[in-house]
Amino acid sequence: MNWLEHPSRFLFFTGKGGVGKTSISTATAIALADAGQRILLVSTDAASNLDEMLGVTLSNTPVPVPGVPGLELVNIDPDAAADHYRSRVLAQMPNATAEEQSKVLEQLSGACTTEIASFDEFSSLLAGGAERFDHVVFDTAPSGHTLRLLSLPKAWSGFLEGNDRGASCLGPHSGLKMQEARFNQALEALTDPSLTGVVLVARPEAGALAEAGRTAKELQELELTRQWLVLNAVYQPTLADDPVSQAVARQGEQALAAMPAVLRTLPQARVPLRSFDSVGLPALRALLNDDLAGTLPAAEAPASAEAMDLPSLARLIEQLSGQGRGLVMVMGKGGVGKTTIAAALALGLVSKGHTVRLTTTDPAAHLELTLEASVDGLQVSRIDPKAETRRYIDKMMATKGKGLDAQERALLLEDLKSPCTEEVAVFHAFSHMVAQASSGFVVMDTAPTGHSLLLMDATGAYHRQMLQGLGERTNARIVTPLMRLQDPKYTQVILVTLPETTPVSQASALQDDLRRAGVEPYAWVLNRSLLAAGPRDPLLQARLSGESRQIERIRQGRLAQQLFVLPWQAQPPVGVTALRALAQ
């Protein structure tokens, strides 16, 4: 395990959602601590499940991990970070009136404040806030969000340099200028290969390897050049006459053979597919240790798929079709197959005679690659953050900039170059797409959980601002995007998960967050069910025991109002023909 032999002081783990970043990063932190090092394990993922894996309550201050001397855990919670950030901004305004403070708090209520606050906490660790630890291990959000996080030091340093005017969505600019030195220190630490390294985690799957390749290149452009590649869950079959196990192995071999060239240049390590879920200290210690892996107890035999009566995706499509129109939001943790499910649902609805708009809010969107062809009755689009930002800036310059002189227009354009403008632009595009569902079906493939929650937060903030703007006119007719999301006749939220402990827990946590926002999920889809595919290989059979427990957990715990299951596919469901087969 080459990254364990010569670890950098700051060690980032990233990759496509669902590849095992949290498991590998946590196992790494435990191994380093067991070797006598003082380790801080940091989660920057809003959808982190480290509490379940380690049995420790997450906190925004470091807490010791029982059973692992030398290891402490901290979670950069976006909401807690935002509250702390707002308190610090107000503390810089000791002479402000109550009205002035209220106005600042209103400015600091949006999603970009949450982003800069989380980044501020992250920067403090890179800029000397973790001196008592030998190594800081970062368990990050999925790739698209991580690239955004790692690009922020350069973005904010560039924005603040020479800018001495207000930045309204982040509060008084003076507060940000006080952080400029910290941001610059963070940038220096990130781009120093003697201090910072990145572990790209992937599974032997085409999509995960392609995303790891793109991430490797983008990280190099950000001057993060010290990289390792970890291939997780590499499977070797033991039965020659089991078609399912042979197909699982063949998929992995084909994906590895077509690995992007940039990944071949990196130091590489392989972690075998284990028969156990990576939950609890024994399993996490065994994940990177073959000798320990052989000592864990064998799993019980699972129930059959027939006995569990698992309804198909076709039945879900039939139900959605009966609605006639509406917004179908496909949500979940990264890597669970949201894009595949969204495309299959859209094609299924088209086959029922509906006109469908299929769109994505995911920075790492792959809809075009998944479909591979155009389809009559299906309109495919993407909410591209960079394109939407350009469009938003052009619109602001054409409206707010109209009538301004050259100097005033230059100042307005400078303000619009703030990194938080992207969040505002994406929200406006999202709101426009939500409105389209009033006249037909819109199927939306959302970004991984943490990024989706930030989008929901922006939606809620806009809703509150609209209601405050109405004042006493409570009878005024207004329909905000949040109200549409809360309307079960307008919006059906489909939560996608995998039949494993961590994805099910994260789907449950996402459902709790949605319910707090007044949004009730319509159904869950359990994707890539090996139980439904019926393998006979002993290792895969051992994995099935955990899968059947998760199905019972969902049903008996009544996590899902409805549960639909999609079997593991011998061939990746790419292309219109394969996706239509899922819908049938």
Per-10-residue mean pLDDT for the chain, 584 residues long?
Answer: 87 85 95 96 77 85 94 84 77 78 70 68 79 91 56 55 50 55 77 92 91 90 91 91 90 95 96 89 94 80 66 94 93 84 94 92 63 82 82 88 87 77 78 88 76 54 55 57 86 92 84 86 93 87 84 85 89 83 84
The packing angle between helices 206-221 and 243-257, to 10°, is 20
Supply the pLDDT for residue 305.
Answer: 59
Q: 384 Cβ partners below 8 Å, 6+ apart?
A: none
Neighbours of 330 (CB within 10 A): 27
Q: Is 310 exposed, middle or buried (0-12, 13-18, 19+ CB in 10 A)?
A: middle
Q: How far, CA to CA in Å, does 62 sit from each of 53, 133, 501?
A: 16, 11, 25
Q: How open is the CA angle 266-271-274, to the nearest 5 degrees?
A: 160
Separation of alpha carbons 569 and 529, rounded Å: 9
CB 62 within 8 A of CB 50: no
Q: How far, CA to CA in Å, does 207 sit from each of 143, 254, 311, 381, 566?
A: 12, 12, 27, 20, 18
What DSSP letter does each residue of 421-446 carry, written as one string? Answer: HHHHHHHHHHHHHHHHTTSSEEEEEP
Helix (H, G, I), strand (E, B) or coil at 97: coil
The closest alpha carbon to 115, from 451, 510, 482, 512, belongs to 451
Kindly report the backbone phi and psi dihedral angles of residue 73, in degrees, each rounded to the nearest multiple of 5, phi listed first.
-125, 135
Beta-bridge partner residues of 272? 234
The closest alpha carbon to 460, from 515, 385, 517, belongs to 517
Give the pLDDT confidence of 400-440 residue by residue, as tens digits: 888 888 888 888 888 777 766 777 787 778 888 888 898 99
CB 250 within 8 A of CB 23: no
Separation of alpha carbons 89 and 417, rounded Å: 22
Residue reference for tokens 């990130």? 190
Separation of alpha carbons 394 and 388, rounded Å: 10
Q: Return the HEC string of 245-301.
A: HHHHHHHHHHHHHCCCHHHHCCCEEEEECCCCCCCCHHHHHHHCCHHHHCCCCCCCC
Supply the pLDDT for residue 450.
Answer: 47
Separation of alpha carbons 283 and 100, rounded Å: 53
332 sits in the region (left: phi over 0; alpha: psi -120 to 50; else beta) called left
Q: Which DSSP symbol is given to 375?
A: B
Supply the pLDDT for residue 38.
Answer: 97
The closest alpha carbon to 206, from 525, 578, 573, 576, belongs to 573
Element (H, E) at 87: helix 78-91
Put the strands of the sheet holding 63-64 in their side by side order.
63-64, 71-75, 39-43, 135-139, 10-14, 196-202, 227-234, 268-272
Separation of alpha carbons 412 and 405, rounded Å: 11
Strands 196-202, 227-234: pairing kind: parallel
- Which residues are marked as active site? 18, 20-23, 45, 502
Supply the pLDDT for residue 168.
Answer: 45
CB 46 within 8 A of CB 78: yes
Kindly report the backbone phi and psi dihedral angles of residue 431, in degrees, each rounded to the nearest multiple of 5, phi listed first.
-60, -40
Copy the structure tokens of residue 528: 């890539």
> Model's pTM, two decimal places?
0.69
Q: How open is the CA angle 256-257-263, to the nearest 5 degrees?
A: 60
CB 144 within 8 A of CB 365: no
